[in-house]
Each structure stands twice: as C-alpha cells, then as structure tokens.
Chains A and B, each alone.
Chain A
Amino acid sequence: MTSLPPVFTEWFASRGWSIHPHQQAMLDRADDPALLLIAPTGGGKTLAGFLPTLVDIAEHGHEGLHTLYISPLKALAADIKRNLTTPVSEMDLPIRIEDRTGDTSSSAKRRQRADPPHILLTTPESLALLTSYEDAPRIFAGLKRIVVDEIHALAESKRGDQLFLALSRLQAMCPGLRRVGLSATVEDPAAIARLLARHPDPCEILMADPGPEPDIAMLQTDATPPWSGGGAAYSIPAVLEEVKRHRITLIFHNTRAQAEIFFHNLWLANEDALPIGIHHGSLDRAQRERVEAAMQRGELRAVVCTGSLDLGIDWGDVDLVIQVGAPKNVKRLVQRIGRANHRYNAPSKALLVPANRFEVIECHAALEAVRDHDLDGEPRGPGPRDVLCQHILIRACAGPFDADALFEEIKTVGAYATLTRAQFDACLDFCATGGYALRAYDQWQRLLNRDGLSQLRDPRSARLIRMNIGTIQDADLLKVRMRRNRGGKPLGEVEEGFAASLTPGDTFLIGGQIVKYEGLRETVVEVSRDAAKKPKIATFAGTKFATSTQLSQRILSLLHSGDHSALPAHTADWIALQQDVSQLPKVGRLLIESFPHDGREHACIYGFAGRNAQQTLGLILSKRMEEMRLAPMGFVSTDYATLIWGLEPLTDATGLLDRAALREGLDKWLAGNQLIKRTFRASATIAGLIQRNLPQVRKSGRQATFSSDILYDTLAKYDPDHLLLDITRQEAMRGLIDFGRIEEMLDRIGNRVDLVRLPRVTPFAAPLFLEAGRTPVEGSAQDRLIEEETQRLMQAAGLA
C-alpha cells in the first residue's frame, strides 16, 4: 500500500476527511498502464484521479507537463481547476494548474505552448489541436499521466473516438504514459475499459461503493397530463410546491425549447417570487456563468436546465431533482438523479413528471428499470472512419509521416483495433485526393508522398485543417442579440432553421424572456424586448433523444402484461379503452391499425423502435405504399408509433415489412432523402470534405447545406463507391436514421403482423394527430394534387 506523504495526511485530517478506499486503490495502482474508476457522483472521483499526480509531483518534483486532464465540458475543466487549486494551495504544493479550452485567450494559449503547466485541463478538441502543432513533441515532453473524466459521456460519441486517437499519438510521443478513466455508473464497464487502454493492454476496473439507493417516484398532480406534447404545463403548481419544500431543486428537461417554455410558465405562476434560474447550452456564456455563480452562492431555489447540467459540476446543496418529460434512457436518468445530494452516502431524491399520457407509461417503466439496476446502452460499432480521416489530416499538420507507422499507431486504439489496412488506405487516399470523383479538383488535393513520407501538399492548408478540428455537429446556431446601436446584449443562440422561419414582429422565448424578432444582421438575430404574454414557441435546438431499446421493451411488456393497476387511473382507463376499441400492442408482434379520418386514410404502425427509427420507417413505408398505389401524403412519428396518411386505405399488410424490401427501400431512399443528406453532411464535415469554417468568412449553415446536398447527389450519381458514401451508409444504422433499430424490431416481430381495419381513430392513435413534426411525402399524391388543383383553377378561371 502506498502511503500518503505527511502533508496530505495532515490536509485530509484538517478537513476531517479520511481517504476513500477507491482513492487509496488509485494511488496503489498508480503505475498501471490503464485504470478505470467507476464511482457515483460525489464520490471524490476527481481527487482520486489526481491523487497519484499530486503525490508524485510533491515528492519528486517535475519539469514541464506532468498530467493532462480531459473533460467533455469546458465548464467542467474550469470547475476542476477551482476544486484542485484549493488543496494544492492549502498544502502549498509547487504545482501549476491551468485550463485550455476554446474560451482561453490566444496569448495564454501561446504561453502554454512555450511553457506548459504541470497539470493542463482541456477538452478533446483542444487536445487534438495541440497534437497538430509541429512542436507537439516538445509540448508533451515529460508527460506522465492522462486523466479522462466523465469518460462514459465521451465513450458514446465521436468526440471520444477523436480523443482516443489523440491518445495514441501522445502514447507514441511519451511511451510511458499512464491512462486513467473516471466514469459514472454504466451498464458495461469492460467496454469503456477497452476504449481507454492501449490495445491490447489490459485495463483494471475499480468499482467504488455505489452509495445508497435513490429515492425516486412519479410526481403526484391534481391535474391529469394531456394527450400529447412535451410542455408538462399541467404540472406547474405541483412542481412549485416541491420547490418550496426543498432547498435547491434542479428541474431537468429533454430539450432547450421545452426548458424555456416551462421556465416561462413557472414564472407566470411563481406568486412567491422564489428565485428560479434557467441554464441550457443555447444561452450566452455570461448568462450561464451568472446562474452558476448564483447557484454556488446558494441564492437560487431552483434551476430549470437541460443536459448542460448533466455532467459532474458541483452544484452544492441540491436536494431534489425533477425530470420533466419521459427520461428516454435509464442510464441518463440515473446520472441525473445523482445530481441531487451530491454528497457521498446520502440517498438522491428525484421525481419524474410525464409530459403526456403515453409518457406516464414510459416513466413507470423507467422507475422499474432504475429499481432493477437495469441500465441501457447500445453497443457501438467499430471506430468511425470520418473521425479517422480528420485524424490523418491533423497528423499531416504536425509534419511528414510514415503511413505504416501511423497505421500501427491507430491499431492501438480500442475502437480501431479491427481496422484493416485496406480501410486505412482508403481513408488516407481520401485525405490525399478527395477520392476518385473529385480528383480533378484542386481544393481536395491535400497530401503528397515525398521520400516515402506523406505530407501536406501546401503547408498553408494546415491553418484550414486546424480551424475545422472537432466532431461536434450542432445544428447551425445563430447568435441572438438585443438590437442597439452597435452590439446589444447577447442573449444566446437559436438554430438557423428556426431563425429562417421568423418574420419581423414574431415573438419567441429565450433566456426566460419574450423577445421580438427585428431582423437578421449577418449571422446575428436582432431582437427587442416585448411585453407580449404569449410567445411564438421557441423551437430551437430540438435534439430529441429516442427512447432506448431496453426502455421500449419494458413499455411493451407493461402494456402486454394486462395488469395496469399500478398506473394512475387516467392512464389505465385510456389503455382499457384502446383494448376495447382495437387491441393493445403485444410483445413479439406488430400492431398496425388502418382507419379513415377527416377525408383521408390512415395507417398507424406501433413499432416501439424509438423516434428516429420510427421516422425512418415512415419514410420507407410511405415509399412502399407509393409503390402499392396507396398515394401516401405524409407521416408523423413518435417513439412508439408512426402514423401515415394518404388517399387510399391500407387493407393488406402482406410484404409491407419484408426485410429485403425494407433494406432495398433504405438503399433506394438513400439516394434522395434529407436525413441521409444531413448524415452525409456531418460525416463529410468531420472527414474534411466540407469546411465549416473558412478564413475570414464563416460559411452560413444554409450555404453549407446547399453545397453538401449537391455534393451528395453528385457523388451518389457518379461515384457511388466513394468513401464518404460508404461511411454515410454505415452511419445510417444509428443516429438520425437508426436502421439498426428497425432491424431489431424485425427480429422481434418476425412475420407476426396484426393489421386491424377500424371505422375511426383509436385511443392510442389519437395523440399522434396532435404531434408536431409532420413530414410530407413527395410522390404521386403530390402530382395528383397538382393536377387536381391546376384543373380546378383552370375551370374556375373559365379556361378549361
């Protein structure tokens, strides 16, 4: 057992603390090449990660960079800096700690490169940028340890893939590098350990005491939830009551728009003027920092927030977490619950607020899952090649390289361990030439081979590559500012698509206030204050998570079980009515309802495959129905069903869900759909085919969409085997298109399809009519309608 140096023991004692067993274990295993710590929130996880570093520097001293700390959030890096500076200065240790993120000034960044601190706190993107400099070996000389915080959050995204690729680069520069990962509770720790360690090195997993069981329930309200929508406005009085009964409450929402609307309604009802703030990723940084500071000073009673507060920033005395809207994902729910009682050994308290009738069922299923410790997770496939392409370009920025050596280096990254040489060569060739179809165009000729080494053809292109480092594909956001003479107060950001839908005079919510849209100046949305009571709804930043496979299964089982007594009466009655009028969805079968309504025919498919897959199903099935001459006109999807409407009734579902036909539908439909183009655009941007940032001008989102769409069309037409199209097809199995979930559904239902023909709308289908986000189908129905309408107009005009 490694004992703490006296200065540490004294410091622990002065605080009245003793070292946690897992902190001691981390110290004992300081020399392991890779080590993963799984600990609940508030378990002294960060200190556990840094203890070996602090002890080593305190005892042996160190010149230059000793430890690199990576966190997924800029704010977290700043927070850790504060938390770490306290013990370091109290123990008077000779350790310099600095953070480096997109917010760091360029002069500070230059100084950090010339004279790195002992501990540098940064993000995956800033690290990737650091490795792209020609003097990277000098910057990282002497680096001994790397700590990846909240690794579970990174492991699920391309940001993680980029990070682990950068680690392979660092490991090549500093062969003795030790890797430490800090993670919240996850369903498959071994999978994260494999990502963290240098392949095929082993990685020990330390499990800290998980702490007491959470105290979690559904919020009891007098009002019943509505049939549809996500606002949960009905719950406001009950939520306010809970806020009054607790010291500090965090009120989580799934989307920023919902958080804004809820916050607005909360204030309209907040007669006691309780101090309540709002915090989400679209708000201006200064605004967010004010809320964070007020929170730490204990001045707020509640904060309405989104995923921006999901990760481990210490918020002090939160004693209640309220989740508004179905949690969609049990693992995220558990992590959010952990935000309450951010102290070891105190149970977390949380309440769930379903936003509509169906979400009552989902919340109930989620509560069961939390009690059963049944966390969900989708295994990720092999490392994405678009990130690899970016990595190759970043490597080229740092100087000429040997392709064989780079390939060997990449094979040490867990996610890329199965990468074949042919796949690597295809990525390298794409980086060098843009691929076969684009070889005639100068702008994509980036690498050349000289003396056996690959290098940038024009060293000046390094600037452009560096400007476009990163894998985060936020929808394009525009800044919102108060209109003043010059540069009014910044309020936050909205999606470009939302801004484009505004006409001057429209009102919307941002940062809890209603503002009036005045106009667009370059890339800034200018607004003025407005006294209106009811805003036009803010639809910005509509990231919608799909309900996880595991949670969907629980919901289906719950419906199938026939026992709904545990559910509130209003929901149980609704389910009973559905059973009377039609039937309930069953495990292992697929229910399709077909009925006329309002002059159109409708088909409702209860696939329980999650929002994205149901959306994709809508697109493919409407194509199939087009071929069946049912003239579909549009569809809408939720996490559990898709409703398609058209001119002719669906009376025979034979072959509708044939796997081969759906696959073919996906391929055919790959050629033309917006979702696939968005998927392509994301990968093309990451891989460096399209530059989002150009020197001087920032390409506006619409221009970027325009050109990537046409680029997609042309590649699809003239070079269907292009690397980027291959990557796009692979991406289509997950994410926005999520075809993998459709296949999962097909596995589950086999050929057991129940088509029910009914005279009118059913209880379960009714909420879909109120659902937003309808997708029109461009097909024969459109031509039929144009023909009808033009003929009608010609006759009306007496011309035909």
Chain B
Amino acid sequence: MNGYEFTLAGARLTALGSGALFWRDLNLLCVSDMHLGKTERRARLGEAQLPPYETHDTLSRLQADLEATGAHTVICLGDSFDDALAARALLDAEKLWISRLQAGRRWVWIEGNHDPGPVDLGGAHLFELPVPPLTFRHIAQQGFSGEVSGHYHPKVTLPVRGRAITRPAFLLDSDRLVMPAYGTYTGGLRSHDTALCDLMRPEALAILTGKTPHPAPMPRGAKA
C-alpha cells in the first residue's frame, strides 16, 4: 500500500495516494467530501448536467481502499452527499452497494454543510467524533489541536521545470490535518487561498495525492 506516514498529536497515521486517511493502530479509514449524488442534484436544480456514474466511480475507489487496508471502522468526514435529497435519490443498486461496504464495519457519517441531516442509510450520524487523541469533524475550528477535517478540498500546484502540476493534497501541521476531497467530481481550493493560509501554521506540509503521495512544504501565495 502506497502511503505517506506521519504523526498527528501522537497518533501514527498514513495518507493514502487515493486521498483517504488510514489509522493502522485502530484499523480506521477516513474519507472526506465524497459529494455522492452530485449529478442528480445538479439535474434537479436545473444546472448544467453531468453524466451519471460518478457515485459508482467514487464507491469503486472506496471499496478498493477498504479491501487494501482491511479497515474495520469507516469515518465519512462530511459532505458525503451533495444534499439530503441526493442521498435519498441514489439508485437502489448504489444504496445496496453502500450497505455491502458497511457490512461488518463500524460506519460513521459526520455531518457536513451539504448534508446536515441524518440519512436513510446504515451507520451512525454524528456532528463530530472524538477518537482520542484526535477529533474528526467536517470544518476545521481555530484553536483546536489533533483535529482531522475536510470541507476545503485543498489542492496544490507545483511549478516543475517550467510546467505546473496540480494535485489534490492533504494539508498537515502540528495541530491539524485537512483532507482532500474523495469524490469524483469535486473541484478544489488552492493552498494559496487565504482561508487555508490563515488556518495552517507557516511550517505546514502539503501531501500530494497520486500514485505515490509526496510531501512538500505547503505552497502559499506571496506574503502580503
């Protein structure tokens, strides 16, 4: 399994190339911002349509990560569904698939800004989940340490020999980890954005996703 290992508040964690987080000691896998049902929601709201199958794609990747890690606990760190209606509008086959993935596992849905209410699927539904020494919640809060959050969909652009390469990335400092989006159709916020620059300490690292995850100092815009 290709991963980048690091510690956060004493917990030994692995950032996977897929954008998932694995906590080996607890056999726990965490994914954030899957935005399942995005196609359906956009069609419903009369926005430009996206083709179907993105749910299929996201779930395939999740299944692959579950098989590779053998995780017993799964935390979906919010915005798992594009909205509550999208969760209800999943195809039966997709709901069934989620149930199959849940079988024999502890499964926690953390509330996100897109999916605040409980969903009609198995698993616990929580605002946040403390697993000492860490806390899992959707949106990062200032002043916390040992926090794992999502929401921002961070991505990083690196200039490499005259070419810019952009990848979704984990952002990591001594207090917190911000996870990249796991969903197929989710865009991203560049690490240069002030929201992320203000949130993360100056010495923060970005861990680029890809075949093999690679750490680098978090790229930031020119200091004002």
Residues of A bordering B, CB below 8 Å:
438, 440-441, 443, 697, 699-700, 703-704, 706-708, 710-711, 714, 717-718, 776, 782-783, 785-791, 793-794, 796-797, 799
Question: Is B185 a contact partner of A710 (Cβ separation < 8 A)?
Answer: yes
- Which residues of A sit under 8 angstroms from B210, Cβ to Cβ? 783, 786
State in angstroms the CA–CA spacing of A645 and B53 once bound together. Answer: 37
Question: Which of B69-77, B80-88, B212-220 binds A?
Answer: B212-220
- Which residues of A sit under 8 angstroms from B54, Cβ to Cβ? 710
Question: Is A787 a contact partner of B214 (Cβ separation < 8 A)?
Answer: yes
Question: Is B52 a contact partner of A790 (Cβ separation < 8 A)?
Answer: no
- Can you offer 26 A-B residue contacts whose CB atoms are under 8 A? A440-B91, A706-B50, A707-B48, A707-B50, A708-B51, A710-B184, A714-B53, A714-B56, A717-B57, A776-B163, A782-B165, A783-B211, A785-B160, A785-B165, A786-B167, A786-B214, A788-B160, A789-B158, A789-B160, A790-B158, A790-B208, A790-B214, A791-B214, A796-B217, A797-B203, A799-B205
Q: Which residue of A lies closest to B212 (CB)?
A: A783
Separation in Å of the A151 CB from the closest CB of chain B? Answer: 38
State in angstroms the CA–CA spacing of A405 and B56 once bound together. Answer: 40
Nearest first, the 3 A-B pairs at minimum CB distance are A711-B51, A714-B53, A790-B216
Separation in Å of the B183 CB from the closest CB of chain A? Answer: 12
Question: Is A699 a contact partner of B48 (Cβ separation < 8 A)?
Answer: yes
- Which residues of B sit under 8 angstroms from A794, Cβ to Cβ? 215-217
Among A707, A714, A718, A790, contact of B49 (Cβ-Cβ < 8 Å): A707
Cβ of B223 under 8 Å from chain A: no
State in angstroms the CA–CA spacing of A728 and B50 once bound together. Answer: 20
Q: A786-B158, A790-B214, A790-B216 are in contact. Are A710 and B51 (CB under 8 A)?
A: yes
- Which residues of A sit under 8 angstroms from B215, Cβ to Cβ? 790, 794, 799
Question: Is B51 a contact partner of A714 (Cβ separation < 8 A)?
Answer: yes
Interface centre among A443, A704, A793, A797 (most CB of B within 10 A): A793
Separation in Å of the B222 CB from the closest CB of chain A? Answer: 17
Q: A440-B91, A785-B161 are in contact. Are A793 and B216 (CB under 8 A)?
A: yes
Q: Which residue of B lies closest to A786 (CB)?
A: B214
Q: Which residue of B lies closest to A714 (CB)?
A: B53
Q: Which residues of B in the span 190-215 have a Cβ within 8 Å of any Cβ on A?
A: 203, 205, 208, 210-212, 214-215
Question: Is B208 a contact partner of A786 (Cβ separation < 8 A)?
Answer: yes
Separation in Å of the B41 CB from the closest CB of chain A? Answer: 14
State in angstroms the CA–CA spacing of A317 and B204 once bound together. Answer: 72
For the complex with contacts A443-B43, A718-B56, A790-B215, 14 further pairs of A-B residues with Cβ separation under 8 Å are A704-B48, A707-B49, A708-B51, A710-B53, A710-B185, A714-B52, A714-B57, A717-B53, A782-B165, A785-B160, A785-B165, A786-B208, A789-B158, A790-B208
State in angstroms the CA–CA spacing of A787 and B184 once bound together. Answer: 25
Interface centre among B51, B52, B56, B212 (most CB of A within 10 A): B51
- Which residues of A sit under 8 angstroms from B167, Cβ to Cβ? 786
**How many Cβ-Cβ contacts under 8 Å join chain A to chain B?**
72
State in angstroms the CA–CA spacing of A443 and B51 once bound together. Answer: 11
Determine the main DSSP class of A at the interface with B.
Answer: helix
- Which residues of B sit under 8 angstroms from A796, Cβ to Cβ? 217
Interface centre among A704, A790, A793, A794 (most CB of B within 10 A): A790
Question: Is A799 a contact partner of B217 (Cβ separation < 8 A)?
Answer: yes
- Which residues of B sit under 8 angstroms from A438, Cβ to Cβ? 52
State in angstroms the CA–CA spacing of A440 and B40 once bound together. Answer: 13
- Which residues of A sit under 8 angstroms from B161, Cβ to Cβ? 785
State in angstroms the CA–CA spacing of A441 and B215 once bound together. Answer: 42
State in angstroms the CA–CA spacing of A710 and B208 once bound together. Answer: 23
- Which residues of A sit under 8 angstroms from B48, Cβ to Cβ? 697, 699-700, 703-704, 707
State in angstroms the CA–CA spacing of A707 and B51 once bound together. Answer: 6
State in angstroms the CA–CA spacing of A783 and B209 once bound together. Answer: 11
State in angstroms the CA–CA spacing of A314 and B108 once bound together. Answer: 74
Interface centre among B163, B184, B212, B214 (most CB of A within 10 A): B214
- Which residues of B sit under 8 angstroms from A718, Cβ to Cβ? 53, 56
State in angstroms the CA–CA spacing of A711 and B52 once bound together. Answer: 7
- Which residues of B sit under 8 angstroms from A786, Cβ to Cβ? 158, 160, 165, 167, 208, 210, 214
State in angstroms the CA–CA spacing of A797 and B210 once bound together. Answer: 22
Q: Mark B34-73, 1 if CB is under 8 A from A, else 0.
A: 0000000001000011111110110000000000000000
Q: Which residue of B lies closest to A699 (CB)?
A: B48
State in angstroms the CA–CA spacing of A697 and B42 once bound together. Answer: 14
- Which residues of B sit under 8 angstroms from A703, Cβ to Cβ? 48
- Which residues of B sit under 8 angstroms from A782, Cβ to Cβ? 160, 165
- Which residues of A sit under 8 angstroms from B158, Cβ to Cβ? 786, 789-790
- Which residues of B sit under 8 angstroms from A441, Cβ to Cβ? 52
State in angstroms the CA–CA spacing of A229 and B6 once bound together. Answer: 51
Separation in Å of the A521 CB from the closest CB of chain B? Answer: 18
State in angstroms the CA–CA spacing of A714 and B205 once bound together. Answer: 34
State in angstroms the CA–CA spacing of A493 and B25 once bound together. Answer: 60
- Which residues of A sit under 8 angstroms from B163, Cβ to Cβ? 776
Separation in Å of the A433 CB from the closest CB of chain B? Answer: 14
- Which residues of B sit under 8 angstroms from A776, Cβ to Cβ? 163
- Which residues of A sit under 8 angstroms from B51, Cβ to Cβ? 707-708, 710-711, 714
- Which residues of A sit under 8 angstroms from B49, Cβ to Cβ? 443, 707
State in angstroms the CA–CA spacing of A791 and B205 once bound together. Answer: 12
Separation in Å of the A146 CB from the closest CB of chain B? Answer: 38
- Which residues of B sit under 8 angstroms from A797, Cβ to Cβ? 203, 217
Question: Is A789 a contact partner of B216 (Cβ separation < 8 A)?
Answer: yes
Among A710, A717, A788, A793, contact of B50 (Cβ-Cβ < 8 Å): A710
Q: Mark B169-203, 1 if CB is under 8 A from A, else 0.
A: 00000000000000011000000000000000001
Q: Which residue of B lies closest to A791 (CB)?
A: B214
- Which residues of A sit under 8 angstroms from B211, Cβ to Cβ? 783
State in angstroms the CA–CA spacing of A774 and B51 once bound together. Answer: 30
Separation in Å of the A501 CB from the closest CB of chain B? Answer: 14
- Which residues of A sit under 8 angstroms from B208, Cβ to Cβ? 786, 790
- Which residues of B sit under 8 angstroms from A710, Cβ to Cβ? 50-51, 53-54, 184-185
- Which residues of B sit under 8 angstroms from A791, Cβ to Cβ? 214
Separation in Å of the A713 CB from the closest CB of chain B? Answer: 8
Interface centre among A697, A710, A787, A791 (most CB of B within 10 A): A710
Q: Which residue of B lies closest to A784 (CB)?
A: B160
State in angstroms the CA–CA spacing of A794 and B203 once bound together. Answer: 11
- Which residues of B sit under 8 angstroms from A708, Cβ to Cβ? 51
Q: Mark B154-167, 1 if CB is under 8 A from A, else 0.
A: 00001011010101
- Which residues of B sit under 8 angstroms from A714, Cβ to Cβ? 51-53, 56-57
State in angstroms the CA–CA spacing of A704 and B48 once bound together. Answer: 8
Separation in Å of the B188 CB from the closest CB of chain A? Answer: 15
Separation in Å of the A693 CB from the closest CB of chain B? Answer: 12
- Which residues of A sit under 8 angstroms from B53, Cβ to Cβ? 710, 714, 717-718
State in angstroms the CA–CA spacing of A417 and B215 once bound together. Answer: 61
- Which residues of A sit under 8 angstroms from B214, Cβ to Cβ? 786-787, 790-791
- Which residues of B sit under 8 angstroms from A790, Cβ to Cβ? 158, 208, 214-216
Separation in Å of the B200 CB from the closest CB of chain A? Answer: 14
State in angstroms the CA–CA spacing of A438 and B51 once bound together. Answer: 10
State in angstroms the CA–CA spacing of A796 and B203 once bound together. Answer: 12
Separation in Å of the B168 CB from the closest CB of chain A? Answer: 13
Q: Which residue of B lies closest to A704 (CB)?
A: B48
- Which residues of A sit under 8 angstroms from B185, Cβ to Cβ? 710
Separation in Å of the A719 CB from the closest CB of chain B? Answer: 10
State in angstroms the CA–CA spacing of A699 and B49 once bound together. Answer: 9
- Which residues of A sit under 8 angstroms from B165, Cβ to Cβ? 782, 785-786
Q: Which residue of B lies closest to A600 (CB)?
A: B161
Separation in Å of the B203 CB from the closest CB of chain A? Answer: 8
State in angstroms the CA–CA spacing of A157 and B135 once bound together. Answer: 62
Q: Which residue of B lies closest to A792 (CB)?
A: B216
Separation in Å of the A632 CB from the closest CB of chain B? Answer: 14
Separation in Å of the A679 CB from the closest CB of chain B? Answer: 17
State in angstroms the CA–CA spacing of A210 and B224 once bound together. Answer: 73
Separation in Å of the B164 CB from the closest CB of chain A? Answer: 10
Separation in Å of the A705 CB from the closest CB of chain B? Answer: 11
State in angstroms the CA–CA spacing of A710 and B55 once bound together. Answer: 12
State in angstroms the CA–CA spacing of A794 and B205 once bound together. Answer: 9
Q: Which residue of A lies closest to B206 (CB)?
A: A790
Separation in Å of the B185 CB from the closest CB of chain A? Answer: 7
